Amino acid sequence: MKLKILVIATLVANFFTLAATSQEQTPRLETKDRFVPVIGRNGMVTSREKIASQVGVDILKKGGNAVDAAVAVGFAMAVTYPQAGNLGGGGFMVIHLAKENKSIAIDYREMAPAAASRDMFLNADGTVNEMSSRFTHKATGVPGTVAGMAHALKNYGTMSLQEVMRPAYDLALAGFPMYNYLEGSLNARKERMMQNDAAAKVFYKKDGSSYKYGETFKQKDLAWSLKRIMEGGEKEFYHGEIAERIVADMEANGGLITMGDMANYKAVERPALVGEYKGHKVVTMPPPSSGGVHLVQIMNMLENDDLRSMGHNSAATLHLYIEAMRQAYADRSEYLGDPDFTDVPVEELTSKAYAKIIRNQIPADKARRSTDIGPALNLITESPETTHFSVMDKDGNAVSNTYTLNFSYGIGAMAPGTGILLNNEMDDFSAKPGTPNGYGLIGGEANSVQPMKRPLSSMTPTIILKNDKPFFVTGSPGGSTIITVVLQSVFNVLEFDMNAMHALAAPRIHHQWLPDFVMMEEGISKDTKDILLEMGHIIAPGERTIGSLSTIMYKGGIFYGAADIRSLDAAAIGY
């Protein structure tokens, strides 16, 4: 028996010796991890769609930097992920430049046309006309994507617009194989999209049937637009024939955008919002994104709690998450809007002093009611079909970009001859202060409709710096849930030492003040839910997925990429 035990012990020892030897030949991953990220030595791109991710990696391989690759991905996703990738929408880009140790935020959010007015989406009786604000040409704001991408490339890239746009143009002209998620998405929106001749012509066959998996899907009208931009730059989009076609479609369908609106659009570079959390810098988007403000606000609230000892997704930890989220979204309803039109108290909302005051109001073992919580500052909704991508290069530059059409495929209509889908971002304004938008978010006067104003957003592109170098790049779609999804990915890394994939795979929750309930994903234990219920938290019936993260971690000279396991056809690709 002793001999048998000795033999078994020797075999076990040899096994672990061989395993350790094998791991020494590859980048070291902790053996505790069940979720393994993608590994890269020279750079990483992660996005919601694998063809676009590969486009970005190919640009890096050609010597482009992270900005070059990000702009290439942005244009490619307008072709391969049309439900959210776009030329006709807008978004936010956060960049960290390694050589200068500088962080930049580019605001290319859509803008209200000059003819927009405060009550433009109200019926005669004062109620909100939701159809008008979501599914008509009046719902379309002046697009910002082309200006934003061009600004980033001109100022921080190394390649020409033609070089980074060529892959998108080729994909639109020659086509690509229809893939699972896009096939299902187009089928799900078919009834609405078939009502618009231009969209029906592009997305469905001449006989009205749908493209099937594996069939070549071409977009010749979009290729025309891409070629015009490649040759004429952003001027062609905002002053040339593309603009003329968009405006003609507006005039024919009761929209408000004019040639003057197109010509007056500008991407705005703003100072990145930077928070501090336990020795790390949280570099994120300032207003008109609410995401960065409330990400920093919540992290400040919980910085002095020992979350690690409480345990990941324990009832104690989730209780603190919920209550901090509740307060942040209450503040969002009152104070956040376009900083060019309203005084947004960013410094106060993101201060450690304010966070301490609010944290002291959170009971240790009892839920509060949202009806008892209002915007607390005393100055003594958006689409799940938004999309995000993250890029890092070998020199330490990083890009976190989130952009959108708002609802999936925007209003479901195209400007004829352009292949460009029209956004419905005007619904992100508060059509009537105090009335929920399409995602249940309450807005105040700070986010009311005004000419040339940019609507509030929850998009939260974020870069975490460790010793002033990018350590974790993250972001997600998900409308009102974006802020809390990004928050939990950051806490999973900084507090619970998870790798890029584990941080992304862990179950998530969401609370947004109103409506007063907690959304939960599958994977939160029944015992934990029972404890939260005993505390008085209201848990929404059923489970759903929340968000779709695209993350990159840089550690020990290795890039670790992760595309969300919740999402079909998403991909992290490194080299």
SS (H, E, C) 331-390: HHHHHCCCCCCCCCCHHHHCCHHHHHHHHCCCCCCCCCCHHHCCCCCCCCCCCCCCEEEE
3-state secondary structure of 417: coil
Residues with catalytic roles: 386
Comparing 59-73, 275-289, 440-454, 524-538, which segment has the lowest mean pLDDT?
440-454
The amino acid sitting at 132 is: S
Residue 102 has pLDDT above 50, yes or no: yes
Place of tokens 């002291």: 360
Q: Identify whether 515 is preceded by a cis peptide bond (ω within 30 of 0).
A: yes
- The confidence score (pLDDT) of residue 27 equals 56
Which one is predicted more confidently, 17 or 421?
A: 421
Distance CA 468, CA 145 (A): 29
Distance CA 149, CA 107 (A): 10
30 neighbors 497 (Cβ within 8 angstroms): no
398 neighbors 391 (Cβ within 8 angstroms): yes
CA trace torsion 59, 64, 68, 72 (10° rounding): -10
Name the E strands within 86-183: 90-97, 102-108, 176-177
Residue 366 has pLDDT above 50, yes or no: yes
| Mean pLDDT for the stretch of residues 120-126 | 93
Residue 435 has pLDDT above 80, yes or no: no
271 neighbors 437 (Cβ within 8 angstroms): no
Q: In residues, how long is the chain?
A: 575
Distance CA 484, CA 323 (A): 12
Q: Could you tell me which residues come within 8 angstroms of residue 214 by beta carbon, excluding any fewer than 6 positions away?
A: 177, 178
The hierarchical CATH code for the domain 270-383+458-551 is 1.10.246.130
Name the E strands within 15-99: 38-40, 43-47, 90-97
pLDDT tier at 438 (50, 70, 90 boundaries)?
low
441: tokens are: 């978010």
Where, residue-wise, is CATH 1.10.246.130 in the chain? 270-383+458-551
The amino acid sitting at 457 is: S
Tell how far CA 197 is from the center of its chain: 30
- The confidence score (pLDDT) of residue 439 equals 56
Half-sphere exposure of 166 (CA within 13 A, CB side): 8
| Mean pLDDT for the stretch of residues 468-494 | 97
- The confidence score (pLDDT) of residue 379 equals 33
Smallest CA-to-CA distance from 66 within 75, 79, 81, 56 is with 56
What is residue 328's DSSP assignment? H
| Mean pLDDT for the stretch of residues 502-515 | 96
Smallest CA-to-CA distance from 362 within 294, 300, 443 is with 300
The angle at the Cα of 502, spanning 501 to 503, to the nearest 5 degrees, equals: 90
- The confidence score (pLDDT) of residue 11 equals 40
Rama region for 254: left / alpha / beta (φ>0; ψ in -120 to 50; rest): left
pLDDT tier at 18 (50, 70, 90 boundaries)?
very low
Q: Catalogue the long-range contacts made by 118-127 (C-beta closer than 8 Å, 24 or more residues apart).
A: 118/448, 118/449, 118/450, 119/432, 119/449, 120/431, 120/449, 121/426, 121/431, 121/432, 121/449, 122/431, 122/432, 126/432, 127/432
| Mean pLDDT for the stretch of residues 356-364 | 96
Smallest CA-to-CA distance from 562 within 96, 140, 39 is with 39
- The confidence score (pLDDT) of residue 432 equals 80
Question: How buried is residue 496: exposed, middle or buried, by Cβ count under 10 Å (0-12/13-18/19+)?
Answer: middle
CA Rg value for the chain = 24
3-state secondary structure of 493: helix
**Terminal alpha carbon distance of the chain:** 51
Reported pTM: 0.93
Q: Could you tell me which residues come within 8 angstroms of residue 358 by beta carbon, excluding any fewer than 6 positions away?
A: 301, 324, 327, 376
H helix count then E strand count, the chain: 21, 20
275 neighbors 291 (Cβ within 8 angstroms): no
3-state secondary structure of 450: coil
Residue 81 has pLDDT above 60, yes or no: yes
388: tokens are: 């995000």
- The 10 Å Cβ neighbour count of residue 236 is 18
Comparing 15-24, 232-241, 263-272, which segment has the lowest mean pLDDT?
15-24
